[in-house]
């Protein structure tokens, strides 16, 4: 009898030990799994950050490439004008025509060489036929096209408009084009957009406001009050609007264009309403890439 009890007790102890060992193994495996999941999560977060950084870098490079192409096309036109002037100088010069004609010929030769180089840059920067250079003189066409796509656009202009240098003209047009295109993309048809130009003696301010958030709500059958009730906006929302930086390919390109001509670019969401874009050029009229001072005074 005692032997049987001892044998059963030994078996029980063995089972308990086996269970304990199994539980320990399972615990170790669980802890290892948790650790691996944490490591994988960290690696995925790091990969996401790297992808975001690369996307942002690619967007900036794409924006700069497009700007370089258009500015080089402007330079091509300028060099063409120089060549025409230099060629004509050989026939209109009155004093020492021999020397002046030779000098003009050298200028024309150098200009043609520069022109060929610039055209190669344009070819490398982008293939295909060059489209007509955009200009704010064709704003009616741009805004009319966006209206046919569903935007309701109100346009206002104050101050006296002045002629812009070709590169600045392109930059201002492209900023406006991207801003209203974004309003259509994010707000959809029916979005109200307010576009305003304010001209000063030496600069200009472009402001584009839309009600894309409310427009999206209207399409879902909501009124502005319902949209506000769906989400409570707090002081933190307003603070994020003032301090946060909006990113994206289109935003990067608009910012690059503004900075290239001494401008100040800003974009931010308006909580419960939509989005706002502004580009301020304090001295655009006389900008020459170094300063904006009128040297003819």
Residue 244 is predicted with a pLDDT of 54
pLDDT digits (tens, 9 = 90+) for 112-130: 777 776 776 666 665 555 5
Among 55-64, 161-170, 172-181, the minimum mean pLDDT is found in 55-64
The percentage of the chain sitting over the pLDDT mark of 90, rounded to a whole number, equals 28
- Residue of 224 and 201 predicted with greater confidence: 201
Please name the fold of domain 136-281: Heat Shock Protein 90 (3.30.565)
* Sequence-distant (≥ 6) Cβ neighbours of residue 168 within 8 angstroms: 261, 281, 284, 287
pLDDT digits (tens, 9 = 90+) for 127-150: 555 567 789 999 999 999 999 999
State whether the Cα torsion 125-130-133-139 is positive or negative.
negative
pLDDT digits (tens, 9 = 90+) for 22-76: 777 777 878 777 787 887 777 777 777 777 777 777 777 777 777 777 777 777 7
Going by pLDDT thresholds of 50, 70 and 90, the confidence category of residue 221 is confident
Distance CA 32, CA 9 (A): 34
Domain boundaries defined on the chain: 1-126, 136-281
- 278: alpha, beta or left? (left if phi > 0; alpha if psi -120 to 50): beta
């Amino acid at each position: 009898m005692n032997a049987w009890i001892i044998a059963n007790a030994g078996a029980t102890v063995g089972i308990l030990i086996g269970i304990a060992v199994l539980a320990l193994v399972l615990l170790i495996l669980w802890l290892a799994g948790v650790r691996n999941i944490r490591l994988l999560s960290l690696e995925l977060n790091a990969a996401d950050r790297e992808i975001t950084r690369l996307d942002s870098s690619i967007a900036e490079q794409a924006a700069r490439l497009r700007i370089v192409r258009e500015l080089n096309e402007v330079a091509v036109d300028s060099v063409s004008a120089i060549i025409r002037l230099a060629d004509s100088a050989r026939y209109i010069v009155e004093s020492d025509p021999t020397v002046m004609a030779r000098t003009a010929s050298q200028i024309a030769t150098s200009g043609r060489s520069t022109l060929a180089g610039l055209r190669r840059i344009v070819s490398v920067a982008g293939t295909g036929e060059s489209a007509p250079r955009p200009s704010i003189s064709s704003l009616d066409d741009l805004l009319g096209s966006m209206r046919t796509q569903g935007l309701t656009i109100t346009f206002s202009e104050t101050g006296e408009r002045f002629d812009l240098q070709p590169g600045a003209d392109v930059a201002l047009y492209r900023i406006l084009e991207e801003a209203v295109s974004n309003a259509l993309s994010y707000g959809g048809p029916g979005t109200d957009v307010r576009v305003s130009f304010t001209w000063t003696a030496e600069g200009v301010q472009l402001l584009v406001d839309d009600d894309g958030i409310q427009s999206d709500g209207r399409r879902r059958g909501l009124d502005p009050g319902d949209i506000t009730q769906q989400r409570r906006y707090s002081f933190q929302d307003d603070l994020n609007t003032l301090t946060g930086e909006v990113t994206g390919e289109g935003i990067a390109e608009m910012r690059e264009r503004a900075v290239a001509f001494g401008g100040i670019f800003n974009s931010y969401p308006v909580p419960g309403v939509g989005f706002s874009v502004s580009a301020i050029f304090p001295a655009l009229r006389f900008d020459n890439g170094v300063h904006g001072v009128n040297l003819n005074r």
